[in-house]
Amino acid sequence: MAGQEIISTEPATGAVLWRRMAGDADAEVAQARRSWPEWAARPLAYRIEALRRFANVVRQKADAFTDLIARETGKPLWEARNEVDTVIAKVDISVTAFSERTGQRRIDAPMNTRLALRHKPHGVLAVLGPYNFPAHLPNGHIVPALLAGNAVVFKPSEKTPATGSFLVDCFHAAGIPEGCVRLLIGGADEGKALAAHPDIDGLLFTGSANTGIALNRQFATRPEKILALEMGGNNPIVVWNTPDLYSAAVLVVQSAFTTAGQRCTAARRLIVDQNLYEPLIGEINKLIGRLIIGEPHADPAPFMGPVIDNDAADMLTESFVALSTMGGRPLRHMERPIESRPFLTPGLIDMTGASEKVDVELFGPILQVFRVDTFEEAIAEANDTRYGLSASLVGQDPKLYDQFWANIRAGIVNWNRPTNGASSSAPFGGIGWSGNHRPSAYYAADYCAYPVVSSEADSARASIGLGLRDA
């Protein structure tokens, strides 16, 4: 709430990184509303040039930005650097996407008339960002929104406000009007106030399914407002009919444990042919044992850092115990190497004979394993979820992949690739509890502007040929 101080600490060390008082949603939305018309009236070329300056500002500040992301999230320096690179690349990708998906075009029309398709911005869009990719994911909403001519009020996660502040400063340093990109610092109260604000024209959200569902209910009576939900996943990776078990194990580990499992596309469930189970688990266990888990700047570079905070680490360790009490058989126990810090070692648990299945997104390094006898059972197991974001098949048979692709319920379906690591040059989104059919990334242009169709003629010439009495 306004008047409350928001403090960001480094997960790896507990050191205070950043602090600022919470902001006021009313004030930020009002300023964006005042500034929006002038920005929207600018030519597209002007907005493109401004956003390219933004990319150059980020490029110039890349080292400082990388260091900040690494410190605030705990992710390794190499991964934070990749995130900054995606922020820079987003501009050119968005320009191409805008032209392809929401650009101007003429449509065939009868003689002496024109049919024109153009797009208009919505107005003021609110963006709620997550903590796992605190620059890349909100930037994936903000850049296409600005390009289309909207103003933005951005509330970063209260767990990563410093990164959000740095990102907004880069927009302002590039000459994008301060009123058109507003930063709202705060927690849940500020997020709720922004989402419910009568003067926003839409909300672009990345976060948990529970919050997304609550927003969907809230916006159900406001059809005039655009709502784009990018939520989580209970993603399956299926290993079937592959002789290269080491590579299969690498793909599983990359899918499940990159970013300490804090990706919406992370593999949460490994579904494996009963005949491959023991040798595959052996390879996975050996690989997990070799993973370096450490602070962002450690040398040698770690594979993964801590989860975001001690509360998250506590929840994950309790969840692993809960899975065990349901009949899960631990294959590798999750450990807390530093009691006071949120470092976790990957946990692996066989849930094949469990008394119940828990269809939730455990946002961390926990991988559940299910053994099956047939490929049809594997697909059924993979689809046994309310989510539908990402799914991957590891196997050598193209016919099995065709069967997998045709029957799996997911917006991202991969073959011999990890479940994560989606390209910004393609649409990103899922079905079920993973989104509301408004995919982001390359398709973000679709929800940042609305189509306007115009039938046009240079002069008014009209007549009524039927249904009139004689003059």
Residue 2: per-residue pLDDT:
54
Contacts of 380 (CB under 8 A, 6+ apart): none
The H-or-E segment that residue 278 falls in is helix 277-290
Q: Are residues 102 and 175 in the same domain?
A: yes
Q: Which of 72, 79, 230, 381 is catalytic?
A: 230
Q: Are residues 165 and 42 in the same domain?
A: yes
Q: Are residues 211 and 273 in the same domain?
A: no
Q: Are residues 244 and 210 in the same domain?
A: no
Listed residue (394, 385, 388) closest to 430, CA to CA? 388
Contacts of 339 (CB under 8 A, 6+ apart): none
**Cβ 58 vs Cβ 69: under 8 Å:** no
Q: Which CATH number covers residue 443? A: 3.40.605.10
Q: Are residues 281 and 356 in the same domain?
A: yes
Q: Which of 170, 180, 264, 448 is catalytic?
A: 264
Q: Report the 10 Å Cβ neighbour count for 224.
A: 8
| Tokens 């390009």 belong to residue | 147
Tokens, residue 469: 């009495």
DSSP assignment of 287-311 equals HHHH--B--TT-SSPPSB---S-HH
Q: Which CATH number covers residue 313? A: 3.40.309.10
Residue 91: per-residue pLDDT:
98
Residue 113: per-residue pLDDT:
83
Tokens, residue 184: 């709202």
Range of the domain at 152: 5-231+435-456
Annotated catalytic, 264?
Answer: yes
Helices (H), 103-219: 136-148, 161-173, 188-195, 209-219
| Tokens 């073959």 belong to residue | 415
In the chain, how many H helices and how many E strands? Answer: 14, 19
Q: Are residues 217 and 247 in the same domain?
A: no
pTM for this one?
0.96
Report CA Rg, the chain. Answer: 24
Residue 470: per-residue pLDDT:
87
Tokens, residue 206: 């990345």
| Tokens 């995606």 belong to residue | 86
Task: Determine, yes or no, domain membership for 245.
Answer: yes
Task: Determine, yes or no, domain membership for 427.
Answer: no
User: pLDDT of 39-78, one tens digit each?
Assistant: 999 999 999 999 999 999 999 999 999 999 999 999 999 9
Residue 266: per-residue pLDDT:
98
Reading the chain (471 residues) residue by residue, the pLDDT tens digits are 556 999 999 999 999 999 999 999 999 999 999 999 999 999 999 999 999 999 999 999 999 999 999 999 999 999 999 999 999 999 999 999 999 999 899 888 777 788 999 999 999 999 999 999 999 999 999 999 999 999 999 999 999 999 999 999 999 999 999 999 999 999 999 999 999 999 999 999 999 999 999 999 999 999 999 999 999 999 999 999 999 999 999 999 999 999 999 999 999 999 999 999 999 999 999 999 999 999 999 999 999 999 999 999 999 999 999 999 999 999 999 999 998 999 999 999 999 999 999 999 999 999 999 999 999 999 999 999 999 999 999 999 999 999 999 999 999 999 999 999 999 999 999 999 999 999 999 999 999 999 999 998 888 888 898 999 987
